Structure 1
Amino acid sequence: MSFSELLSYRWRERFFRYAPLFVWLGVIAWLSSDSGAMSETSRFVRPVLRFLFPEASEETILTLHGLVRKSAHVFVYSVLAFLAARAFFVTSLAAIRSHWAAAAIGMVFITASLDELNQSFSGGTRTGSLWDVALDTVSGAFAIGLIYLLLKRRFMKKLLGQI
């Protein structure tokens, strides 16, 4: 393999490692805008809730809509944690690679903080919440914990298989 082929391979490897992470950060930034406001998401969430629960009161629909939105926080930031862990676990930067879990949780926390800060300046349509930062960070940490347990289990199976 020539030097230029090696550089091209490394560039492609890095691109496929980090591109999904950056795309997901873009999704979070879009959701952090007014496009992710409750008034916007209600256009498609509320009809689904009305279909599923036709007898539900308006108050119940509003509560369920809020629950759907909080569940979206858990999903979105768990995916972010997974993508960050995927990128950091094999990065060429030794300091990040050796602390991939902490780096991934740190990225989740920083992203969640910037997300809520952005919402607090949205002109009244959105409000930033420290509770959402906590929910997002705990969701990401839980996802990292699951990844860690799966990796540990795989390592132990491999280790025990060699004995």
Structure 2
Amino acid sequence: MIKFNLTIDTIIALFSLVLAAFSILYTFWSNRYSIEIENFDYEKNREHHLISVDFINTSTKNLKLLNLKFYVDDILIETIDFDFEKYDQRKQLESRKSNFPFPDLYTPISNFETLSLKTRLNQIEFPKTMIPNKQYNQCCFLSKKPNKLVVSTNHHISLFSKTKSFSLT
């Protein structure tokens, strides 16, 4: 039969064991990869849906964003390669050719807004390396307003998956 004496040495050893186990779990938990949506904006822009999503890499290491997929009721929506500058020019010509009493009824968007939109749309190149705790904006035109976004990365951001789903409401 084994005799067990509860001495101060045994208490200190058990306390150290519990503290070491907690330290291992805390290190694993704090060093895992994660990504979150900071902001989601939607607007009807030039007869299409302009979607803007701000991501933040909340992990302590670099994370590579591989793909974004937008869904409406579990149906994939493809991004539209929309040339808004040609659209503005065409609309302006149509308004001048029409027989309205006011030929310049369609006023083009300001140059500042066009430049800002062009800069935002040029950022949707993948893969995109995300530095820890830095915000990134992705902007694109879609045919419908999405209600779900699936993000794919090069590391596990969910328990066993390299993808994570976000509800967009």
Q: Which category of TM-score, normalised to the shorter sequence, fits these structures?
A: under 0.3
**Structure with a larger share of its residues in strand:** 2
**Structure with a larger share of its residues in helix:** 1
More relative contact order, 1 or 2 (CA 8 Å, 6+ apart) = 2
TM-score, normalised by the number of residues in structure 2 = 0.24
TM-score, normalised by the number of residues in structure 1 = 0.24
